Amino acid sequence: MKCPRCGSEMHVDSHRKYDLHMCYDCGYIEGRSYGEGSNAPDHKLTNFERMRSMNQNEAIAFIASGMNIDSKLVSTWLAESFA
């Protein structure tokens, strides 16, 4: 099944009471509105949407501050994960 928002392949999330299709690229979940709500002026960004728009340094600062850990640890972890 293709994602109606971005067109990527959707995956089945079976960690709930009933299975839902989810898009790991844009964060769309089956059954949630995705149309004009995301373009509305009063639309609040989700953490997923905020992180997709960040560069690497901003993402490291965001993750480190949210988890109360040193940013050097996050930087090292990302470098090893994507090397």
Q: Where are the alpha helices (DSSP H) in the chain?
A: 47-52, 56-67, 71-81
Mind listing the pLDDT tens digit for each residue in 45-76?
777 777 778 888 888 888 888 888 999 999 99
**Model pTM greater than 0.75?**
no
Residue 35 has phi, psi (to 5 degrees) of: -80, -110
Mind listing the pLDDT tens digit for each residue in 3-49?
877 788 888 877 777 788 888 887 778 776 555 445 555 667 777 77
Alpha carbon distance 53, 71 (integer Å): 19
